[in-house]
Amino acid sequence: MRFLAPHLLHLAWLALIPLALYLFKKKARRVPVSTLLFFRSLAREHQESAWLRKIKKWLSLLLTLLMLFLIVLALARPVGEAGADSPGAVVLLMDRSASMAARDEKGRTRLEEARQLARAKLKSLPEQVVVSLVACDAKAHVLLSRSRNRRECLRLLDELSPRPLTLRPDIALVTAARLAELEPGTQVWHFGDRPFESGADLAYQFHSAALDAPLNAGITAFQIRPAPLAHDRYEAFVKVTAAPANTRRVTSTLEVTLAGRLAQLRELELEPGESSALILPLEGVKGQRMTVQLKTPGDCLGWDDAVAAVLPRSRPLVVAWVAENADPFTELALTSMIEAGRIEMLRGTPAAWPMSDKPDVYVFEQWLPDPWPADRPAIVLNPPKSAGPVQVRRLTGAGLPHESVRSAAPEHPVLFRVSSSRLAITQTGVLDTGASLEPLWMAGSEPVLAAGEVEGQRLVVSAFSPARSEQLALLPAFPLMLGNALYWCAEQAAALAEIQTRHPGDLLEEEGLLRWTEWDGTRFLETTEVLQGGVTAITRLGAWENGDDRTGVSALASAAETSVPARATEDSASASLPAFAAGPVFRDWPAILTATLLFLLLLESWLFHRKAVY
Amino acid sequence: MSQAALEREDLFDAAFLDRLRSLAVRLRKRRALSRRGAQSTPATGFTREFKDYRHYTPREDYRAIDWRLYARLDKLFVRLYEETQELNLHVLVDTSASMARPFGEKRRQALRFAVALAYLGLAAQQRVSLYSLSDTVRQELPPLRGQGNIEKVIQSATRLDFGGLTDLERGFTEFRPTRQRYGVIFVLSDFFGRDVNTASHAIQRAAAWPGETHFVQILHPEEREPRIEGEVELDEVETGERRRFWLTRRDVQRYSETFDAFCDTLARECAAHRMDFMQCGATEPFEDRFLDLLNRGSALAGGV
């Protein structure tokens, strides 16, 4: 027997109280009476047994101490030790993530299938086996802990429903492992659509509720933002993925509506497992609602088929530009963004450093502060020396001209829609990117543009002089690159919080009435939700607006959940675990303690009241 | 000042004796208004008081023939004389320990009753005997007559030793006055025996006593309704037996019910055998209760 709360065993000192009371108890008052005649007849009903009279003093103390001991023992939550006669326990891991909402041709969800499997397995279990029920999605919820109450377990099973959340197998397994530690011979039965890969150290058994031939395509990424250099223009990034388990190539239609009108229509053909990333330019005004819906014939999962968003009303980014010698190209790029209303600029010279106002992003040009400010993301253009995380060796003279530049990471957000073709630049320094910075542009074998995170600070460093570079080609590329860099650096800033795509389960700090354009898996609904304030977890898919014109997007956007798996030909672990045999009746220590305590109370009551130990 | 003297003052102080005398006078006056002569009986005897004539029948004592009447009427008549009978007063005082402890008021009340009764008897020229009753019955004073003997009665009452067990059956069996000692018997006791039925059996034996019997049960209020609750060790004063009880209010109530049933049984038993039974509280005013006793129609009250 082990104890889950052994620190409560210290309460055993309470036994000293009845012991002291017993040792220092007040003696009965002696009262002289004329006759015991009538008292004797009164006591006839309460006549104590002679043997009881002899042991009553000790018996009373003993029973009190025993009861106290049992109570302390029960508080310490004992659990049974491993033994040969243990019937063991089962931890039911019920997957209720988004993919469990996939329906078969009869319209049954995978969770319903899993529930049916679980009910059948539960009925075949011996009564003594202890059952725990864990519902897992992005978190693991222990709905029933170590109980023999099958009826309660079945009731909780019936209450389960899929949630638009991404499954976290690691969390589910940790919870299952902790529950398994409490009871020897615990088997973990996982009911879901795909087995966990790292459950090998557990007595793990997977029961598949997956579809035999699933067909699914869904939106696995979504992001909307204002175009950096233009008014009333937005860019939506949408990634569509076909499930790898699809049996055939699918043809999907992507419908984009803006303010209720069809804005774009794209047709995609996707092989199983194939993804397609789209950038959808949108022309609209802030506050308009847009929806993106993916229609795929035979699609089994609806939650990943649509996204709704409100064109964001983001406030301008505040950029602090500190330059020793301002490059006209930089000034031109930043000025165009100011005109587009995307940024507000705090311009200063090194003499004004440090700044009293705190911007969203620092831009240092041909100058680096010392000490290095690590509190904001920074864009360092053409640094003259090394400082902080920026390690550069300045080239002597006018720099090293390069005829062409190669994109080392064209998918990086900083290079979004930035063409590097026909760029001729003049390198002014040699960057040491180290392990934290990723080279984006390479001039020859040297990086001239790099980006990355150094100890949580986003950083973009360029080592070329735009003024001395080929101007014609750099003219459109450099402002776009700088705008991208600003947005990428300030991604976590409060100014851009509204355009971040959130997921169900994320925490939302809102209060009051939220108006939702909610996606229920089949259609969009206009709903409302009242939040009492504080932090609330998002449970819906769609777009919301509150009374203060704050908006947000909640989308499933999970490649893992969109990849609805197919049932394996053979459940790998289904036959590997031994069947449970009926064990001894008493394995539940709390039940034993409670029964003993009850018995002692009854015994004491009978001895000292019914039998009147006087 | 000795302990006996102290107790004597406590029991029979001068005021008590004064009250007793005035009580006796009041009783005498009351009797004088309703009756004439002292204790006449329908029987004839050999006193000097002439009562009637009757025809002589053979085998009668010829000395009783009135020869003068024979000379006048030529018929034999015998003279009948008034016979007066001497009354005996027996006072039995329970001297078991339960009469003195834990409530000394019981002893005081019993002795006051005894002395008062003896005083009335002596004042009425009756023969007064005092007995102590515990495990047996003992005659503490030989029959006394005359008011002047009251001091002897008081001294004897003061010297009574209260202790030991109560054995009512044995006491009542051993106490058996002869026909010649016919009179009024007063038993002053709490009637607590070894068993609930002991007192009833003893009363049945007392039914055989010659004369008029009065039982006066002297009780303390706390004996009927003890003011104890919780865990107590009860110590019986007569036997020294100790028992532990956990008494609740309900237990005390049931005790009182049992006690009342005991007293009711005693009263019924006395009534069944035409004996007087009176209950007297140890803390009640003595004079009121004593008058109550006399008003119950005692021959003693009639003789004063």
Q: What is the pLDDT of residues B239-293, one digit of tens each?
A: 888 887 878 888 889 899 999 999 999 999 999 988 999 999 999 988 888 888 8
- The verdict on residue A609 lying in a domain is no
Strands A524-531, A512-519: pairing kind: antiparallel
What pLDDT shows up at residue A468?
Answer: 79
Q: Rounded CA gap, A236 and A310, in Å?
A: 11
> Quick one: average pLDDT of A399-412?
86
Query: Would you mind telling me the total number of residues written for chain A in this entry?
Result: 614
- The verdict on residue A238 lying in a domain is yes
Q: Please, what are the domains in chain B?
A: 3-33+86-303 (3.40.50.410), 40-84 (no CATH)
What pLDDT shows up at residue B85?
Answer: 58
Distance from CA of B240 to the nearest CA of A (A): 9
For the domain that residue A238 is a member of, what is the CATH number?
2.60.40.150
What pLDDT shows up at residue A459?
Answer: 92
> Quick one: average pLDDT of A241-267?
91
Which residues of chain A are within 8 Å of residue B98 when distances are taken between CB atoms? 34-35
What pLDDT shows up at residue B303?
Answer: 46
Q: Are residues A432 and A483 in the same domain?
A: yes
Interface of B with A (CB under 8 A): 98, 101-103, 190, 192-196, 220, 223, 226, 228, 230-239, 241-246, 251, 254-255, 258-259, 262
The C-alpha angle with vertex B177 and arms to B174 and B178, in degrees rounded to 5, equals 125
A43 touches chain B (CB under 8 A): yes
At B277, list the tokens. Answer: 């039974």
Residue among A378, A338, A303 at smallest CA distance from A101? A303
A445 touches chain B (CB under 8 A): no
What pLDDT shows up at residue B94?
Answer: 94
Residue A276 β-bridge partners: A240
Listed in sequence order, the residues at least 6 apart from A613 whose beta carbon sits closer than 8 Å to its beta carbon are A48, A52, A53, A56, A59, A60, A607
In this structure, the number of other CB atoms found within 10 A of the CB of residue B134 comes to: 26
State whether B235 and A612 contact (CB < 8 Å).
no
Q: How far apart are the first and last CA of chain A?
A: 39
What pLDDT shows up at residue A45?
Answer: 46
Q: Rounded CA gap, B137 and B170, in Å?
A: 8
Residue A123, classified by CB atoms within 10 Å of its CB into exposed (0-12), middle (13-18) or buried (19+), is: exposed
Answer yes or no: are the C-beta atoms of A318 and A360 closer than 8 Å.
Answer: yes
pLDDT at A443 over 60: yes
Q: Are residues A394 and A518 in the same domain?
A: no
Cα dihedral across residues B193, B194, B199, B201: positive or negative: negative
Answer yes or no: are the C-beta atoms of A169 and A198 closer than 8 Å.
Answer: yes
What pLDDT shows up at residue A415?
Answer: 87
For the domain that residue A200 is a member of, what is the CATH number?
3.40.50.410
Residue among A102, A111, A149, A155 at smallest CA distance from A130? A149
In B, minimum Cα distance to A608 occurs at: B246
> Quick one: average pLDDT of A134-140?
92
For A106, A347, A558, B198, the CA distances from A164, given in Å and listed in that order, are 21, 46, 10, 92
pLDDT at B52 over 70: yes
pLDDT at B115 over 80: yes
Listed in sequence order, the residues at least 6 apart from B121 whose beta carbon sits closer than 8 Å to its beta carbon are B87, B89, B127, B128, B184, B300
- The verdict on residue A480 lying in a domain is yes
pLDDT at B4 over 60: no
A396 touches chain B (CB under 8 A): no
Which residues of chain B are within 8 Å of residue A34 when distances are taken between CB atoms? 98, 101-103, 190, 192, 220, 223, 236-238
User: In the 8-state DSSP scheme, what is residue A13?
Assistant: G
pLDDT at B304 over 60: no
Q: What is the pLDDT of residues A517-549, one digit of tens each?
A: 999 988 999 998 888 877 888 889 999 888 777
Of B232, B233, B236, the CB nearest to A35: B236
Phi, psi of A137 (to 5 degrees): -145, -115
Which residues of chain A are within 8 Å of residue B226 when distances are taken between CB atoms? 31, 33
Q: Rounded CA gap, A461 and A379, in Å?
A: 6
Distance from CA of A39 to the nearest CA of B (A): 7
Q: Are residues A327 and A381 in the same domain?
A: yes
- The verdict on residue A594 lying in a domain is no
Answer yes or no: are the C-beta atoms of B226 and B252 closer than 8 Å.
Answer: yes
> Quick one: average pLDDT of A216-235?
82
Q: What is the pLDDT of residues A79-94, one digit of tens each?
A: 665 444 456 789 999 9
A610 touches chain B (CB under 8 A): no
In B, minimum Cα distance to A26 occurs at: B231
Of A29, A33, A612, the CB nearest to B102: A33
- The verdict on residue A170 lying in a domain is yes
**Which position has the higher pLDDT, A573 or A419?**
A419
What pLDDT shows up at residue B301?
Answer: 58
Distance from CA of B238 to the nearest CA of A (A): 7
Provide the percentage of residues in chain A whose pLDDT is more than 70: 88
Of B220, B245, B258, the CB nearest to A41: B258
Q: Are residues A385 and A491 in the same domain?
A: yes
Chains A and B form CB pairs within 8 A to the count of: 85
Of B98, B235, B262, the CB nearest to A31: B235
Per 3-state DSSP, what percentage of chain A is helix, strand, and coil (rounded to 5)? 25, 35, 40
Q: Are residues A240 and A205 in the same domain?
A: no
- The verdict on residue A601 lying in a domain is no
Which residues of chain B are within 8 Å of residue A48 when distances are taken between CB atoms? none
Which residues of chain A are within 8 Å of residue B231 when distances are taken between CB atoms? 28-29, 614
For A128, A286, A569, B283, the CA distances from A582, given in Å and listed in that order, are 7, 66, 32, 78
What pLDDT shows up at residue A608?
Answer: 67
Residue among A553, A520, A544 at smallest CA distance from A304? A520
In this structure, the number of other CB atoms found within 10 A of the CB of residue A323 comes to: 19
For A409, A418, A450, A509, the CA distances from A412, given in Å and listed in that order, are 6, 10, 10, 30
Q: How confident is the model at residue A143 (pLDDT cuts 50, 70, 90)?
A: very high
- The verdict on residue A614 lying in a domain is no
In A, minimum Cα distance to B257 occurs at: A38
Q: Rounded CA gap, A531 and A8, in Å?
A: 40
Q: How confident is the model at residue A400 (pLDDT cuts 50, 70, 90)?
A: confident
Q: Are residues A390 and A482 in the same domain?
A: yes
What pLDDT shows up at residue A296?
Answer: 92
pLDDT at A112 over 90: yes
Best mutation site among A25, A33, A44, A60 for testing chain B: the one with the most B CBs within 10 Å? A33
Answer yes or no: are the C-beta atoms of A554 and A538 closer than 8 Å.
Answer: yes
In B, minimum Cα distance to A31 occurs at: B234
Best mutation site among B106, B167, B232, B239 for testing chain A: the one with the most A CBs within 10 Å? B232
Of B192, B243, B246, the CB nearest to A34: B192
**Which position has the higher pLDDT, A28 or B202?**
B202
Q: How confident is the model at residue A234 (pLDDT cuts 50, 70, 90)?
A: confident
> Quick one: average pLDDT of A301-312?
90
What pLDDT shows up at residue A44?
Answer: 52
For A102, A400, A504, A511, A555, the CA distances from A514, given in Å and listed in that order, are 28, 57, 15, 8, 16
In B, minimum Cα distance to A30 occurs at: B233
Q: Are residues A335 and A453 in the same domain?
A: yes
State whether B245 and A39 contact (CB < 8 Å).
yes
Of B195, B223, B244, the CB nearest to A34: B223
Q: Are residues A334 and A308 in the same domain?
A: no
Q: Out of A43-52, A115-124, A445-454, pick the least confident.
A: A43-52
Which residues of chain A are within 8 Å of residue B237 when distances are taken between CB atoms? 32-34
Q: How confident is the model at residue A460 (pLDDT cuts 50, 70, 90)?
A: very high
What pLDDT shows up at residue B286?
Answer: 86
pLDDT at B148 over 50: yes
pLDDT at B297 over 70: no
Residue among A536, A482, A461, A474 at smallest CA distance from A505? A536
pLDDT at B47 over 60: no
State whether B246 and A35 contact (CB < 8 Å).
no
pLDDT at A266 over 80: yes
Domain count, chain A: 4
A50 touches chain B (CB under 8 A): no
What pLDDT shows up at residue A93?
Answer: 93
> Quick one: average pLDDT of A116-139?
89
> Quick one: average pLDDT of B194-201?
85
What pLDDT shows up at residue A75?
Answer: 82
Q: Are residues A121 and A55 in the same domain?
A: no
What pLDDT shows up at residue A518?
Answer: 92
Q: How confident is the model at residue A347 (pLDDT cuts 50, 70, 90)?
A: confident
pLDDT at B3 over 50: no
Which residues of chain A are within 8 Å of residue B238 when distances are taken between CB atoms? 34-35
Window 9-28 of A: residues touching B by CB (8 A cutoff) are: 27-28
State whether B246 and A37 contact (CB < 8 Å).
no
**Average model confidence (pLDDT) for chain A?**
83
State whether A43 and B103 contact (CB < 8 Å).
no
Best mutation site among A31, A35, A47, A48 for testing chain B: the one with the most B CBs within 10 Å? A35
What pLDDT shows up at residue A101?
Answer: 93
State whether A40 and B243 contact (CB < 8 Å).
yes
Of A34, A40, A41, the CB nearest to B237: A34
**Average model confidence (pLDDT) for chain B?**
82
What pLDDT shows up at residue B262?
Answer: 92
Answer yes or no: are the C-beta atoms of A366 and A399 closer than 8 Å.
Answer: no
pLDDT at A579 over 90: no
Which residues of chain B are within 8 Å of residue A43 when distances are taken between CB atoms? 243, 245
Q: Rounded CA gap, A561 and A305, in Å?
A: 12
Answer yes or no: are the C-beta atoms of A294 and A219 closer than 8 Å.
Answer: yes
Q: Are residues A323 and A440 in the same domain?
A: yes
Listed in sequence order, the residues at least 6 apart from B160 whose beta carbon sits closer than 8 Å to its beta carbon are B93, B95, B111, B132, B140
**Domain span holding position A426:** 317-495
Best mutation site among A27, A38, A40, A53 for testing chain B: the one with the most B CBs within 10 Å? A38
In B, minimum Cα distance to A39 occurs at: B255
- The verdict on residue A500 lying in a domain is no
Q: Out of A107-116, A365-374, B212-221, pick the least confident.
A: A365-374
Q: What is the pLDDT of residues A544-574, one digit of tens each?
A: 888 777 788 899 988 889 999 988 765 554 5
State whether A33 and B243 contact (CB < 8 Å).
no
Q: How confident is the model at residue B1 (pLDDT cuts 50, 70, 90)?
A: very low
Q: Are residues A129 and A199 in the same domain?
A: yes
Q: Are residues A178 and A61 in the same domain?
A: no
What pLDDT shows up at residue B82?
Answer: 59
At A275, list the tokens. Answer: 């993804």
- What's the 3-state SS for chain B? CCHHHHHHHHHCCHHHHHHHHHHHHHHHHHHHHHCCCCCEEEEEEEEEEEEEEEECCCCCCHHHECHHHHHHHCCCEEEEEEEECCCEEEEEEECCHHHCCCCHHHHHHHHHHHHHHHHHHHHCCCEEEEEEECCCEEEEEEEECCHHHHHHHHHHHHHCCCCCCCCHHHHHHHCCCCHHHCEEEEEEECCCCCCCCHHHHHHHHHCCCCEEEEEEEEECHHHHCCCCCEEEEEEECCCCCEEEEEECHHHHHHHHHHHHHHHHHHHHHHHHCCCEEEEEECCCCHHHHHHHHHHCCCHHHHHC
Q: Rounded CA gap, A57 and A48, in Å?
A: 13
State whether A612 and B242 contact (CB < 8 Å).
no
State whether B102 and A32 contact (CB < 8 Å).
yes
Which residues of chain A are within 8 Å of residue B192 when distances are taken between CB atoms? 34-35, 37
> Quick one: average pLDDT of A395-422?
84
| Of the ranges A280-289, A401-410, B87-96, the best mean pLDDT one | B87-96
Q: How confident is the model at residue B190 (pLDDT cuts 50, 70, 90)?
A: very high
What pLDDT shows up at residue A473?
Answer: 59
Answer yes or no: are the C-beta atoms of B98 and B199 closer than 8 Å.
Answer: no
> Quick one: average pLDDT of A588-595?
74
Of A30, A35, A42, the CB nearest to B233: A30
State whether A614 and B244 contact (CB < 8 Å).
yes
State whether A29 and B230 contact (CB < 8 Å).
yes
Best mutation site among B190, B244, B263, B265 for testing chain A: the one with the most A CBs within 10 Å? B244
